[in-house]
Structure formats: C-alpha cells, structure tokens
C-alpha cells in the first residue's frame, strides 16, 4: 500500500499502548490495518513519556505478557520489581529515601505482577505490599522494537510514523475518511470502513463530533458517591516529566544550570517520586507530580505552542528536582542525569462519552457485583489521582477489594457506527479513569477494540452490532483474563 490513496479495513490513530493493542488485534485477525503515529517511535506514554513501568494489576495476560516474554530474550531489556524503601514506612526507610523505591527482583515472575487488590493499602500494610506488589520495568527502545516486530509478523499492518491525524469527514454516525499530515506539510487521506481513536486525547472522536468530558464530573453526571456537587473541569490528574539517571564512578553533585533556583518555586517543597531500578541499574524517576493539571491546561489552552511551553517549564522543574535529590539524599551523588523524556507524561485530558461510562460504582462493585454482559478487560488499580484533589497519595489511595470489569460499550462513542475509542480517553468517569488508565489495561482495551473492528469488517455491521460472545471468546482464546476467582489459598499474612 502506498501513501497516495490508502484504503484499508481498519485504521488505528495513535500508536501508544491502546493503539498497539488495537492494531495488533485487527491485523492478527487478518484485516488490512494501518497504524498512524504522530511521533517517531511507537509506544506513546510508555516509551516517549518515560513510563517504562507496568504497575501491579490483574489483566495483562495477553499482548502485554507476550511483549514481556519477547523482551526477556533481549539482554537487560526487562525485569520484575519489588518494593524497597518507602517514605511512608519510617521503620523501613533507612537511609531515608524520597518516595517509593522499586528494585529489580529477578526472582519474581510475570505472574507475580498480576495482583494489586486485596491489600489494605500501601501505608496500612507495608509487609503485604512488599510481598504482593510487583511490577515490570522495561527498556523503551527494546519495547518499541518488539512491538514493531509483532506488528510486522502479521503481514498486514502498515505502520506510518511521523504522521499526525489532522481532521476527518463523516456524517450520520460514520467516519468516511481522515486526513493526516507529514511534518513537511504533505497531506494524506485514509479511507477505511472502521476507525479506532487511540490518540489518548480523543482527537479523532472530537473532530468527528463526539461529545466529551474533562475534569471532575459532578455527582449528577454519574451519581458517584465521591463526586463533587458541581463539575470542576480544570481538576485533571497532574502531569509528570519523567527522567532517568545512571550510575557514575565518582560521586558528585551535578551543577545546577543557570536560571534554575535551588529552592522549589512552584509549591512548598520539591517532594519525592516513584523511583524504579531498570535491569541495567539505571533509575527511572517519576516526580509526583511536576505540574498540576490545571496549570497544564492553562498552558495548552493559552495558545502560543502551549504544550512546548509547559514542557520547557517542566524541564526546569526536573533539573531543580534532580539537584534537590543529589543534595538532600547523598546516595544520588552516585548517579548522573542521563535522559529526560522527550514528551510530558499526561495522565488525563478529555474523555469521550460512550454507550456506557465506567464509574466509581463499577470499581467498588467489582466483578462479583457488576452485571455487564460485555466485559472485555479487567483491572484492580486503586483510585489514583495526583496533585490537586489528590486521591493518589499512599494513605489516601482507596485500594479495591476485588477486580472490576470494563464493558465494551465504554469503547463505543455514543451514536457512532464505525468508530471506536481505546485508551485513556475512552468512556470513563474522571474517578474511574484514575484507576483504569494503566498501560497494560489500555493495551487490553485496544486488543478488544481491534478484534471488534475486525469482526465488524467481516460481518459488514456497525461496531455496536457485533456479537459480544464471539468477541469475548476470541479475547479469552488469545490469553486475555476476563473473569476472576479468589485465590484458592489466602494471601500471605
Ligand atoms: C507520569 C505518568 C506515570 C504513569 N505511571 C504508570 C505506571 O507506572 N504504570 C502504568 O501501567 N501506567 C502508568 N501511567 C498510565 C499509562 O502510562 C497511560 O495511561 C497509558 O500509557 C495511556 O495509553 P494510551 O494508549 O491511551 O495513550 P498514549 O500512550 O499517550 O498513546 C497515544 C498515542 O497517540 C499519539 N497521537 C496523539 N495525537 C496524535 C495525532 N494527532 N496523530 C497521530 N498520533 C497521535 C501519541 O503520539 C501517542 O503515541 C502513567 C501515566 C503518566 C502520565
């Protein structure tokens, strides 16, 4: 297929976790697929945003596990981690550590990373957390290479990078074609019977005219017990610019660049972060957070290339933060700053209104209480909001007692026939999104969207008319976990 008049069966826009899952599923189902990605590398936030980490959680047994197995064949490309120190555990935080420490733990397996629920929380029960919470840290370039390899093996997935979705044409609940732009201004028009928006910001859906929400929803929106009486559209989860450090032979404090104050200028103190060890010994530093969501919105809505200005300000904060860590915690003098993520880690922007919205009630009912016929992914991460309106501080983070399911209808924009949305901008309430937005869950949702689009192409039907039992059976046959049974043995005390 060339770029002059591309016509495919499934067009996926956005090559992050969800887009990768969607393109892989559609192409493995034998559908001619194109994946367009604005950046020069696949992976989205999990690569260019610096989130080289999969948090503990259920699900993730299909494509994520396959990616993990392939990464294991590459030297130092991936490892499981376990908790080391944590600043909420004074009795274990020696020498004092500025946040949560995740240490490479080669004795653990992938299966160990598939649980978060059932603990009483990070602060309440550190021993159980150390025994039960394990995640994955991977090398981003290896991850991107593995994913491209998997897509290429399908023989029917075209990956077009450095191509930015710009606009779309359509009517009566159908997208007809989309227009995308090369950096040199060259316009490419893509026709397809089915489209999947995996841009994380719902860009294709919004261009098509789908309704969306932003910020805290009011109680009236979804009757959520913890929602405020009035919507607060500027209250979005905070933004973090992730950076990476590498060991150095001679301890030193790196000089603070000119123009960067040593004292924190944007809040009371520098705060800490989630600091994880890569297989090679480098560390990934996820400041919690770098910029409040509302401040980020002020930048991006303020025009004049607001995203680039927000990035520049976050970069200054990263340099200040790194200096603070080196001065206050001497162990960091054995490291040097190696890399700052090329794009901001944005946890939340707009969410598309779908045929169903996942809510706080779903999270608390769990699979045993939910009554949905169309669950296509499961998750169990706690409610996790950083920054203003924090619901993500270790002691404020309500852990769930069991996993919950995410219905397929969350991926169907309300009233649309050939458009699906996968990723953090799917149909979730603000509260529900704070839990389910993790990378592996987003990939699982992309998987479901890709299979659904493939089925819709085969049957020539609308996405809302596909056979859900077939979709769920295909997901299960491909390794996805859709049900949950309590462990036969109790969790370790
Ligand atoms: C700071 C931070 C820390 C996090 N920590 C963790 C963690 O430890 N563990 C975990 O599991 N999850 C974590 N998350 C959550 C998780 O990483 C994200 O929610 C998830 O990666 C979102 O996946 P996505 O596919 O929806 O979006 P993305 O990964 O953002 O992918 C969207 C893709 O669309 C592309 N795109 C955007 N616009 C266009 C366009 N116009 N044309 C073409 N392409 C376009 C982008 O370039 C990008 O590649 C974190 C998130 C953040 C921000």
For 115-147, the pLDDT digits (tens) are 888 777 777 778 888 888 999 999 999 999 999
Report which ligand 1 atom has the smallest distance to the Cα of 425.
26
Report the C-alpha gap between 17 and 432 in whole angstroms: 18
Indicate if ligand 1 lies below 6 Å from the C-beta of 18.
yes
User: Is the C-beta atom of 36 inside 6 A of ligand 1?
Assistant: yes
Closest CA to 403 of 438, 433, 362: 362
Closest atom of ligand 1 to 345 CA is 53
Find the 46 Cα to ligand 1 centroid distance in Å: 6
pTM: 0.97
Q: What is the CA radius of gyration of the chain?
A: 22
CB atoms within 10 A of CB 103: 15
Nearest-angstrom CA–CA distance, 39 and 56:
27
Q: What is the model's pLDDT at position 388?
A: 67
Separation of CA 243 from chain center: 17
370 with 442: CB under 8 angstroms?
A: no
Q: Please tell me the predicted confidence (pLDDT) of residue 119.
A: 75
How many angstroms separate the CA atoms of 297 and 387, rounded? 14
Return the residue whose CA atom lies nearest to atom 13 of ligand 1.
Answer: 438
CA of 22 to the centre of ligand 1 (A): 14
8 A C-beta contact, residue 25 and residue 454: yes
Answer whether 140 contacts ligand 1 (Cβ < 6 A).
Answer: no
Say what the pLDDT of residue 493 is. 52
The CB of 290 under 6 Å from ligand 1? The reply is: no
Ligand 1 atom at minimum distance from 422 CA: 26
pLDDT > 90? residue 344: yes
The verdict on the CB of residue 238 being under 6 Å from ligand 1 is no
Mean pLDDT, residues 376-390: 84
Average pLDDT along the chain:
94
Instruction: State both tokens at 409.
Output: 């209808």
CB 22 within 8 A of CB 450: yes
pLDDT band at 50 (very low <50, low <70, confident <90, very high): very high
Compute φ and ψ for 376, nearest 5 degrees. Answer: -120, 0
Pick from 115-129, 231-245, 400-414: least confident: 115-129
Q: Given this model, what pLDDT does residue 3 score?
A: 64
Region 401-411: mean pLDDT is 96
Identify whether the C-beta of residue 115 lies closer than 8 Å to the C-beta of residue 132.
yes
Task: Say how many Å lie between the CA of residue 49 and the centre of ligand 1.
Answer: 7
Ligand 1 neighbourhood includes 44 CB (under 6 angstroms) = yes
**Residue 39 alpha carbon, nearest atom of ligand 1:** 47
Peptide bond connecting 95 to the previous residue in cis, omega within 30 degrees of 0: yes
Cα 242 to middle of ligand 1, angstroms: 13
CA-nearest residue for atom 51, ligand 1, is: 347
């Amino acid at each position: 297929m060339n770029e002059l008049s591309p016509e495919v069966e499934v067009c996926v826009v956005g090559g992050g976790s969800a887009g990768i899952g969607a393109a892989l599923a559609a192409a493995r189902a034998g559908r001619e697929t194109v994946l367009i990605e604005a950046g020069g590398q696949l992976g989205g936030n999990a690569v260019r945003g610096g989130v080289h980490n999969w948090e503990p959680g259920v699900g993730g047994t299909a494509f994520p596990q396959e990616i993990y197995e392939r990464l294991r064949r590459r030297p130092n490309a991936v490892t499981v981690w376990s908790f080391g120190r944590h600043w909420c555990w004074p009795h274990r935080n020696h020498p004092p550590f500025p946040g949560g420490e995740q240490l490479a733990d080669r004795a653990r397996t992938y299966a160990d990373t598939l649980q978060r629920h059932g603990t009483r929380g990070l602060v309440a029960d550190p021993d159980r957390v150390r025994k039960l919470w394990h995640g994955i840290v991977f090398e981003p370039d290896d991850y991107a290479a593995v994913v491209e390899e998997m897509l290429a093996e399908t023989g029917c997935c075209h990956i077009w990078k450095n191509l930015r979705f710009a606009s779309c044409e359509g009517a009566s609940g159908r997208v007809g074609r989309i227009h995308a732009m090369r950096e040199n201004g060259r316009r490419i028009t893509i026709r397809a019977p089915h489209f999947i928006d995996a841009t994380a910001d719902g860009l294709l859906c919004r261009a098509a005219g789908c309704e969306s929400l932003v910020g805290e929803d009011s109680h009236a929106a979804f009757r959520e017990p913890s929602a405020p009486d009035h919507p607060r559209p500027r209250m979005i989860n905070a933004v973090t610019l992730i950076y990476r450090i590498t060991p150095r032979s001679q301890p030193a404090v790196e000089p603070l660049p000119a123009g960067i104050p040593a004292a924190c200028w944007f809040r009371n103190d520098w705060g800490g972060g989630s600091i994880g060890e890569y297989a090679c010994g480098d560390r990934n530093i996820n400041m919690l957070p770098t910029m409040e969501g509302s401040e980020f919105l002020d930048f991006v809505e303020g025009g004049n290339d607001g995203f680039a200005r927000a990035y520049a300000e976050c970069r200054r904060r990263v340099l200040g933060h790194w200096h603070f860590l080196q001065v206050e915690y001497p162990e960091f003098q054995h490291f040097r700053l190696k890399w700052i993520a090329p794009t901001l880690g944005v946890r939340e922007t707009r969410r598309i209104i779908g045929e169903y919205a996942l809510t706080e009630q779903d999270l608390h009912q769990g699979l045993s209480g939910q009554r949905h016929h169309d669950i296509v992914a499961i998750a169990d991460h706690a409610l996790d909001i950083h920054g203003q309106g924090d619901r993500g501080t270790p002691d404020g983070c309500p852990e769930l007692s069991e996993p919950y399911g995410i219905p397929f209808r969350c991926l169907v924009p309300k009233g649309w026939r050939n458009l699906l949305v996968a990723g953090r901008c799917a149909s979730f309430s603000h509260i529900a999104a704070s839990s389910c937005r993790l990378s592996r869950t987003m990939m699982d949702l992309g998987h479901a969207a890709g299979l659904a689009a493939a089925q819709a192409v085969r049957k020539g039907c609308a996405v809302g008319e596909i056979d859900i039992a077939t979709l769920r059976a295909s997901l299960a046959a491909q390794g996805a976990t859709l049900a949950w049974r309590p462990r036969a043995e109790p969790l370790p005390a």
